Amino acid sequence: MAQEEGGSLSEARARVGALHGITDLAQKLLFYDRWALDYDQDVAALQYRAPRLAVDCLMQALPGPPNAALILDVACGTGLVAAELQARGFLQLHGVDGSPAMLEQARARGLYQHLSLCTLGQEPLPSSEGTFDAVLMVGALSDGQVPCSAIPELLRVTKPGGLVCLTTRTNPSNLRYKEALEATLDRLEQAGAWERVVAWPVDQWELATSELELVPGTSNSDGFISGIIYLYRKQKAAQVEGGRPSPQSPAGL
């Protein structure tokens, strides 16, 4: 059994390490199509914690009951985030992903009311402006996947006062992307589009795939890479007498 577990972890590390090295979107989507059947077991072997932690973060800021909230899971993959959402009482779940094979696995879970094939960054989300109470994107913010320029599209489909929850890795190979992402997030906040609720660094994100992914002083045998969760609230447009919009006021928790 120990040998089987060790082999499974070794294979998972190899596949995830290969994924991290792909920077071409078309090639990355093909990789996900081939990986779909093994995805859940691989991320479980790597102790991937982002779906659970992101939903925990969302729950702390949600203003109403979970069962009343309409949620969009962007880059939903096989539906790991949906499983965490359902466990906490969320019932109205929509998902989008760029991989048909991943969507097949997500559909098999039976947790989403609606699933769509959509490659964010190349096409708009298939939803009207201000549709969702919360939008999550867990695990897709990295080189060769979802570009930082697509972040405003998440904001567009979020209701005024709604929440946007994002995650990314903070291991060495993803730091350049993280810096570009945070610059985009900050620009949107400075423009009054949304307000940061929290930025939550997480030390134990998932097991490292190689020593190059580790912070100095840890070992590949038991070392985790780090990540971060961002939660933002979309600003509400205020009204003044005469029906003219006033500057947006900060939204509280």
- pLDDT at 217 (0 to 100): 56
Confidence of residue 96 (pLDDT cuts 50, 70, 90): very high
| Residue 241 pLDDT greater than 80, yes or no | no
Instruction: Give the confidence band of 250 by pLDDT, cuts at 50, 70, 90.
Output: very low
Instruction: Report residue 238's pLDDT band, with 50, 70 and 90 as the boundaries.
Output: low
Listed ranges 9-18, 215-224, 237-246; the one with the highest mean pLDDT: 9-18
β-bridge pairing 132-137 and 158-169: parallel
Name the amino acid, one letter, at 49: R
Query: What is the model's pLDDT at position 244?
Result: 42
- In the structure encoding, which two tokens stand for residue 180, read together? 């570009």
User: What tens digit of pLDDT does each residue of 160-212 get?
Assistant: 999 999 999 999 989 999 999 999 999 999 999 999 999 999 999 999 988 77
Pairing of strands 224-234, 194-207: antiparallel
- Please write the tens of the pLDDT for every residue from 130-173: 999 999 999 999 988 999 999 999 999 999 999 999 999 999 98
Residues near 244 by Cβ (< 8 Å), separated by ≥ 6? Answer: none
CB-neighbour burial class of residue 246 (10 A; exposed 0-12, middle 13-18, buried 19+): exposed
Q: What is the mean pLDDT of residues 27-46?
A: 96
61 pLDDT above the threshold of 50: yes
Please give the pLDDT value at position 104.
98
- How far apart (Å, rounded) are the C-alpha atoms in residues 185 and 232? 9
Its pTM surpasses 0.85: yes
Residue 1 pLDDT grade (very low, low, confident, very high; cuts 50, 70, 90): very low
The per-residue pLDDT of the chain, averaged, comes to: 89
The predicted model gives 216-223 an average pLDDT of: 56
Average pLDDT in the 213-217 region?
Answer: 67
